[in-house]
Amino acid sequence: MSKYLLNEGLPITFIILYVFGFGLYVTPITHELFKLITPYTLVLVAVAIFSHHKEWNKKTIAVLGGIFILGIIAEIIGVATGKLFGVYAYGEGLGLKIADVPLVIGLNWVFLVYASNSIISKYTTKNIPIILGAASLMVVYDILLEKVAPLMDMWLFAKNDPPINNYVVWFLLALVFNAAIQYFKINTHNRPARWLFFIQFGFFVLIVLHNSFTST
């Protein structure tokens, strides 16, 4: 059993976990249970990912902690003013909130920056391509995530679809956060993180497809 928690076996564990989660989502009797356990699942997989980080030190903790805090602050400002991402509000699908923003959102920012950086840095060691590539990858992820969020009671925009400035600000924040990763030379080479990024992406695709089939 322990092999499924190690670097090589963890992706299989993630696949099993998200297949199980999809089953909970599509089954009416367990749909509310799915929403209840979603924030805990996100924390659990994040812990699993970062347990395989190669170089834990004060610098790494400071950078990742900074991304967490700044991500939360950006979301708090965004929700309160509607100026950054557009007018939106968080639902109940992401658990405990501070100033109307789920705490797990900060963790999500950390994971997405870390994982997207890990993916791009696998193919190049040059800072600019990594920063631009990772930020662009995060925007692609967000485009899909925005379609899934209302279905999972995560958040909802006032006009249903997010405005263009949502993606602009998302991209700019992703640039800043990835630039920090590169400037401070945080080692993001983490195979399970790369796998989880794509597993989550595939999971969201399934959610969108399921909704499109059931709503027609």
Enumerate the domain spans of the chain. Answer: 2-214
Q: What are the percentages of helix, strand and coil residues in the chain, rounded to 5?
A: 70, 5, 25
Euclidean distance between CA atoms 101 and 69, whole angstroms: 12
Distance CA 147, CA 184 (A): 34
Instruction: Count Cβ neighbours within 10 Å for each residue of 47-60 and write b for 16 or more, e otherwise.
Output: ebbbeebeeeeeeb
**Rounded Cα gap, residues 15 and 21, in angstroms:** 10
Give the whole-angstrom CA distance, residue 91 versus residue 214: 22
Q: What does the block give as tokens for 74? A: 């950006």
| Token pair belonging to 98 | 């501070």
- The b-or-e profile of 169-202 (16+ CB within 10 A means b, else e) is bbbebbbebbbbbbeeebebebebbbbbbebbee
Q: What is the pTM of this model?
A: 0.94
Query: Which pLDDT tens digits describe the chain residue by residue (216 residues)?
Result: 455 555 577 889 999 999 999 999 999 999 999 999 999 999 999 999 999 998 899 999 999 999 999 999 999 999 999 999 999 999 999 999 999 999 999 999 999 999 999 999 999 999 999 999 999 999 999 999 999 999 999 999 998 889 999 999 999 999 999 999 999 999 999 999 999 999 999 999 999 999 988 876
Q: What is the pLDDT of residue 214?
A: 84
pLDDT at site 91: 95
Q: What is the pLDDT of residue 6?
A: 56
- Residues 86 and 201: their CA atoms lie apart, in Å, by 23
β-bridge partners, 160: 157
